Amino acid sequence: MRIALDAMGGDYAPGSIIEGAVLGLKALPEIEKLFLVGDTRAIGNELKRLDFQDPRVEIYQASEVVSMQDSAAKAVRHKKDASICRAVDLVKNGSAHAVVSAGHTGAAVAACVLKLRTLKGIERPAVACLLPSQRNIFVLIDGGANPDSTPDNLVQFAIMGSVFSKHVLGYKNPSVALMSIGEEDTKGNDVTKEAFKLLKVSSLNFRGNIEGHDLFENPSDVVVCDGFTGNVVLKTSEAIAHAIFSWLKHELFLNPLRRLGAKLAEGAFKSIRKKTNYEEYGGMPLLGVNGVCIIAHGASSALAIKNAIRVATESIKHEINPQIVREVQSYNEKIAAPATPFG
């Protein structure tokens, strides 16, 4: 497996990115080549600081960086030597099987769409976010690639999320739900109500609408929404988890008796913190592009980057893109087929 890592993307690049690359190489012997894409001198200095050498590492020069202030589409068109653009180029020309980036999400999406194109039958790619629930992990799709989506887009997101859940997470017949403001099919906006009708006649294991209060307690295996809603859910849930642990820590250390109780429950607290820590999940696959792209959190630590690289290897291994193309084609054929008249 050959992976291109955007070494200059992220709040703590290149330091944490290179540290994560080192952790990934140590933990994942299946990696044949890891391209570290970015400023050669800066990357070399980080490797020297870490006293790390590995024949699988290849530094690939890129002189520009897409900043968070840049317009995604303009940056990809005008900053042709940006690290994310060069990393995607390596996938395009076949040198790498996957790209991983913790940089500008919009730029990563734009670079993949412009350079790799979408899979046959896919109108728009979508970010698949892995989130924890009481019983297991579920997929929230779209996590931010498409602020505005059509009913047909939402159906395709559902298909891609279902394929990912089945082939990567191992769920035999993934259940699918549509994010809305009520369980009834009459609830929601025009887009979700039309998407409900389309999902209902699809071959997916569609369970209907899901509301926010059921999202983490009783979710389906795949929860579908537009990228605006998904990104708000993602960032809000992350902030709530952080706030609750902060409040809990404050309350538990107010007196000795509470501190004793906290010590006794330390194992439970660590377990929940690990379950809600985005670093453990690594990165989010951008599904629907003709290649493998993993988008990591902008504030990714070395552990998060290591796990994002792991997600990339898993995505390469399971070859889900051909599965997505087949499922979308099957759905399109089904809705195009004339209805059978009643005898």
- CB distance 84 to 108 below 8 Å: yes
**Per-residue confidence at 153, pLDDT binned at 50, 70, 90?**
very high
What stretches of the chain show up as alpha helix (H) in DSSP? 15-27, 40-49, 72-78, 83-92, 105-116, 151-164, 190-200, 227-252, 256-264, 266-275, 278-281, 302-318, 320-336
For tokens 């009708």, the residue is 197
* pLDDT at residue 242 in the model: 86
Reported as a pLDDT band with limits 50, 70 and 90, residue 339 is: low
When mean pLDDT is compared across 3-17, 43-57, 323-337, the lowest value belongs to 323-337
Q: Binning pLDDT at 50, 70 and 90, where does residue 13 land?
A: very high
Higher-pLDDT residue of 38 and 275 is 38
Q: Does domain 123-282 have CATH number 3.40.718.10?
A: yes
198 band by pLDDT with thresholds 50, 70 and 90: very high
Would you state the pLDDT for residue 336? 76
Q: Report the pLDDT value the prediction gives residue 271, as an integer from 0 to 100.
A: 81
Residue 61: strand pairing partners = 38
Residue 282 in contact with residue 306, Cβ under 8 Å? yes
Residue range 14-32, pLDDT digits in tens? 999 999 999 999 999 999 9
pTM: 0.91
Mean pLDDT of 181-198: 94
Q: Between 262 and 173, name the one with better pLDDT.
A: 173
Instruction: Give the pLDDT confidence score for residue 154 in this predicted structure.
Output: 98
Residue 38 vs residues 20, 85, 227: alpha-carbon distances, Å:
15, 10, 29
Between 3 and 280, name the one with better pLDDT.
3
Considering only 13-22, 89-98, 167-176, 276-285, which range has the smallest mean pLDDT?
276-285
pLDDT of residue 280: 80
Chain segment 140-151, per-residue pLDDT in tens:
999 999 999 999
pLDDT in tens, 210-248: 999 999 887 899 999 999 999 999 999 889 888 988 998
Mean pLDDT of all residues in 66-81: 92
In eight-state DSSP terms, residue 213 is: G
Does CATH number 3.30.830.10 belong to domain 1-119+288-319? no
Residue, of 14 and 264, whose pLDDT is higher: 14
Check residue 338 and give its pLDDT. 67
Whether the link from the prior residue into 142 is cis, omega within 30° of 0, is yes
Neighbouring CB atoms inside 10 A of 137's CB total 15
253: exposed, middle or buried (Cβ count in 10 Å: 0-12, 13-18, 19+): exposed
Integer angstrom CA distances of residue 314 from 79, 102, 147, 294: 30, 18, 27, 11
CATH code 3.40.718.10 region(s) in the chain: 1-119+288-319, 123-282
**Res. 343 pLDDT band, cuts 50 70 90:** very low
